[in-house]
Amino acid sequence: MEELLNWMEYIEDVRQTGKVRHKLKDILVIVLFATLADADDWVEIAMFAETH
């Protein structure tokens, strides 16, 4: 897991800093785990994020 998080540090976040609410790395990890938990769309991913 640590290797995955270290690898994600190399991904450039091109979003405007003032408009960013969450770190890109956190979003990517949530999407990855939600997808592994069989989330099929953004609504299910959001529900996964809220409950976990």
Q: What is the pTM for the complete model shown?
A: 0.78
- How is residue 36 written in tokens? 């592994």
How many Cα atoms sit within 13 Å of 37 on the Cβ side?
16
Rounded distance, CA 17 to CA 13, Å? 9
pLDDT tens per residue, range 1-52: 788 878 888 888 899 999 999 988 899 999 999 999 999 999 999 999 999 9
Rounded distance, CA 38 to CA 20, Å? 27
